[in-house]
Structure 1
């Protein structure tokens, strides 16, 4: 389960956007909406898609595209599809590889693969969205590891476990490997830096 502050950092959506997109039905979390929003791994991938599309076209077109999907029998979770835009329209690739125009304006399209969605990009506000699979050099996200929760690279150690160890100042970066032998000072620094970015989301 991904809380809103971590979801915001991993997707580039602000907390207010997440609340608004939930209330308007653009993307409602699979897991929970009350007492707080909790997102699944699939939700986070779909939200990155929304933000990436939004960086190249209007939110109105994104809303129209997502709203039309059920009428075209595209009923799986949005994270299952590849989307693309030329700025004027949005297309989706179905499971058979067919592209379907969702906004009804023909043109040249670039289908966004998951690799495109996962790489770092800039939002329409000019903010940089972190690389999804490596939100920091020594951190990684794998869908099959810890439910997609960010971990120290090549380990199952959650980033926030290391950040919590360092947060009171009693353990230094160089001492973390005494507690977690697979975690070096650079990895610990990245965990703390990412933790601070997540905590700074208002």
Structure 2
């Protein structure tokens, strides 16, 4: 399964502008190069989503400059070459830590053996600029994400039915209580959740004028 920039933005809390900026190569390298495709069509992996959520949460408490410095330390000084999703990172305003089982290493000031007592699960819901970013594995009560089901495509809970197919039916005028005629395993409440999640994803679509300017 691959995720378009719009869906990746909706599931990570990053804006489309941030995604473009973070995948842009600099002298220090990119913050995150999409694992599946970095050129059009840009496509992100499920591991990328986890890494992006980490970056968004770090950005709440640290500047992009500090994030880049921390990644430099992680990749160049500590020689850590795994996908960014493999690491637990946390910020406290003054620095960024690499969290390990028995210690936390300061990646900005390059000090080790610091103990962190409170960590936030990057998969859980959080707020970014007043926007509620949903739980990554359950973005709505009846919409779930499992890398083992359709490669991670958001589906109706307990089924393999993609959320966007159900949302499309509602947008075409099918009443929620009639969704079962098309997908017997999908309840009216699940259909409404699918439509609500689809509206949330579409809220990351750039304004028409911006899209036209980019296309021109």
**Structure 2 stretches of 5 or more lacking a match?**
207-216
> 1:162 & 1:53 partners in 2: Cα distance?
34
| Matched-pair contact (CA < 8 Å) for 1:83–1:93 | yes
2:170 to 151, 163, 166: 166
2:197 equivalent in structure 1: 194
* Shift in CA distance, 37/97, structure 1 to aligned 2, threshold 3 Å: farther
> 1:59 & 1:80 partners in 2: Cα distance?
20
**Structure 1 stretches of 5 or more lacking a match?**
none
| Matched-pair contact (CA < 8 Å) for 1:152–1:158 | yes
> 2:79 & 2:110 partners in 1: Cα distance?
20
1:74 equivalent in structure 2: 80
* Shift in CA distance, 135/185, structure 1 to aligned 2, threshold 3 Å: same
Q: Cα offset for 1:200?
A: 2.5
* Shift in CA distance, 177/128, structure 1 to aligned 2, threshold 3 Å: same
- SS for the counterpart of 2:36 is coil
Q: Cα offset for 1:110?
A: 5.1
> 1:31 & 1:14 partners in 2: Cα distance?
19
> 2:153 & 2:104 partners in 1: Cα distance?
32
Once the two structures are superposed, residues 168-202 of structure 1 have per-residue CA deviations (whole angstroms, 9 ceiling, x without a partner) of 11x21000112111110010001011112212312
| Matched-pair contact (CA < 8 Å) for 1:86–1:110 | no
Once the two structures are superposed, residues 71-128 of structure 1 have per-residue CA deviations (whole angstroms, 9 ceiling, x without a partner) of 212110010111122221111135x655322111666635646xx10111112x2322
2:44 equivalent in structure 1: 39
* Shift in CA distance, 108/54, structure 1 to aligned 2, threshold 3 Å: farther
| Matched-pair contact (CA < 8 Å) for 2:103–2:116 | no
2:214 equivalent in structure 1: none
**How does the TM-score come out when normalised to structure 1?**
0.90
Matches within 5 A, 1:54-133: 54-71=59-76, 72-94=78-100, 98-104=103-109, 109=116, 112=119, 116-123=121-128, 125-133=129-137
CA RMSD of aligned residues (A): 1.9
2:213 equivalent in structure 1: none
Q: Cα offset for 1:32?
A: 0.9
**Alignment: residue pair count:** 197
* Shift in CA distance, 112/142, structure 1 to aligned 2, threshold 3 Å: farther
1:144 equivalent in structure 2: 148
